Amino acid sequence: MLIEIRVRNYRSFRDEVTLSLVASSDSAHLDSNTTETHVGGAPRVLRSAVLYGANASGKSNLLRALALMRGLVVESAGLQPGQAFNVQPFRLDPGTVQEPTLFETTIALDGVRYQYGFEITPTQVMAEWLLVYQKQKAQRWFERRFDKKSGKDKFEFGSHFLGQRKLWQEATRSNALFLSTAVSLNSDQLRPLFSWFSEALVITPEGVGFLPFYSTGMISSKRGEQALTSFMSAADIAISSIAAVPQKSMFHHFNFDSATGRSDSRDEEGEILVPRFQHRSGNNTAEFDFTDESQGTQKLFSLAGPLFDILEKGRVLVIDELDRSLHPLLVRRIIETFHDSELTRSGAQLIFSTHDTSLLDQELLRRDQIWFTEKDRSQSSTLVPLTEFSPRKGEAIEKGYLGGRYGGIPILAKRLVEQRDRGVKK
């Protein structure tokens, strides 16, 4: 389970910001919207968190930071010597351009809290650390710092961290994370943390969605077909059944290295399974191909399969602009799925950005689940929780947001709201 994300000097974020999923003392929706971690310091965490803000305010950059951190953990051990990181510091302040970028994530795994982070420049790792809380007191498993005088990394290891530490230290290049290198050389202690990044953290960047193949594969089993059909029907889409049919197609393979920013692609012919939907109206039925369906239906179907997998395995789903091509009621339905205590028994969580203000509803979200991004006068992004404004229980959050009380909306939106409130017709 994700507890906290900390970022500094990355893209539009100059100063340090923290997105915390630690549940406050608020008793609202305690059983549905929060879950127990069984770790000290963060007994309950939120099952979802949402980011609001104007375009270019920093919402996507915060999610990009988590994606880049994941990419570096998973891929840095395989980088070539001297290969640069795809990291961009805050550029509008001469004092930060040469400073390292900080990423830190705190998670809970099997009753243990891991606090892992690093600082990097585009060319090398400047610092890296891991604190582990098996009980209340922190165990510093390792710490790495680049010494500018000697031009070498200095490592310190705690007594609780076992294994071939010297070997792993010597194998760690300046542009590779120690965590990644040690796991590639069979560190059993670090593997759960590495696996959380590589398997449990599922991120879909802005403008990139899930492909339908995973959901189509589920149709081959009766249980999967029933689950998908039920999910689509619950979203008020008139689909009576879904089948998977073979079809020859050209495959376009695209590989993107999030650590370096490099990409490559290739095409090849093969056979794939494609979904075919049966719609019913009274006694009449008709079949439709995937491309015949609306964009909203295509996106919902493509998301459904991965969504079931994420819920079942307790993964963390991060989506930029969840509301794109989806009706607000469908978005609401997805959020409610993560708030279903029966479906999220494994600890699944959802973090997303959106412009859909209808979700600012205290019947759906707790006050500590809502966050706002906004740029200050220096064009640096800030991240502020709704709780900082001390909203009352039952307060009309959507109205307050559109009225500019919490920030995070364009100037144009503020003017339109002011005109509406004055009774000016547009």
Domain boundary among 313, 340, 370: 313
Domain boundary among 274, 293, 313: 313
- Per-residue pLDDT averaged across 173-182, rounded? 97
Residues 108 and 137 in one domain: yes
pLDDT of 211: 83
pLDDT of 223: 86
pLDDT of 229: 82
pLDDT of 329: 84
Residues 255 and 375 in one domain: no
Residues 82 and 220 in one domain: no
Rounded Cα–Cα distance for residues 349 and 338 (Å): 7
Residue in 71, 182, 178, 88 with CA at minimum distance from that of residue 125: 178
The DSSP-derived string for 277-288 is EEEEETTEEEEE
Residue 225: give the domain boundaries.
210-313
Say whether pLDDT at 205 is over 80: no
Residues 384 and 415 in one domain: yes
Residues 260 and 278 in one domain: yes
Rounded Cα–Cα distance for residues 66 and 69 (Å): 5
6-20, 136-150, 199-213, 325-339: segment of lowest average pLDDT: 199-213
Band (pLDDT 50/70/90 cuts) for residue 415 is very low
Residues 306 and 344 in one domain: no
Band (pLDDT 50/70/90 cuts) for residue 412 is very low
Residues 28-40 pLDDT 10s: 999 999 999 999 8
Largest CA distance in the chain: 81
Extract the tokens encoding 225: 């077909």
pLDDT of 266: 76
Long-range interactions of 96-101: CB distance < 8 A, separation 24+: 96/9, 96/14, 99/9, 100/9, 100/126, 100/127, 101/7, 101/8, 101/9, 101/10
Q: How many domains does the chain have?
A: 2
Residues 297 and 328 in one domain: no
Residues 24 and 121 in one domain: yes
Residues 93-141 pLDDT 10s: 999 999 999 999 999 999 999 999 999 999 999 999 999 999 889 999 9
Say whether pLDDT at 426 is over 50: no
Residues 179 and 215 in one domain: no
Residues 288-336 pLDDT 10s: 999 898 888 888 888 889 999 999 999 999 999 988 878 888 899 899 9
Model confidence, pTM: 0.88
pLDDT of 248: 79
Residues 33 and 168 in one domain: yes
Residues 260 and 131 in one domain: no
Helix, strand, coil share of the chain (percent; to 5): 30, 30, 40
- Per-residue pLDDT averaged across 45-62, rounded? 95
Domain boundary among 286, 313, 340: 313
Residues 277 and 137 in one domain: no
Q: Give how far the C-alpha of residue 47 lies from the chain's centroid of Cα atoms, to the nearest Å.
A: 12
- Per-residue pLDDT averaged across 130-153, rounded? 95
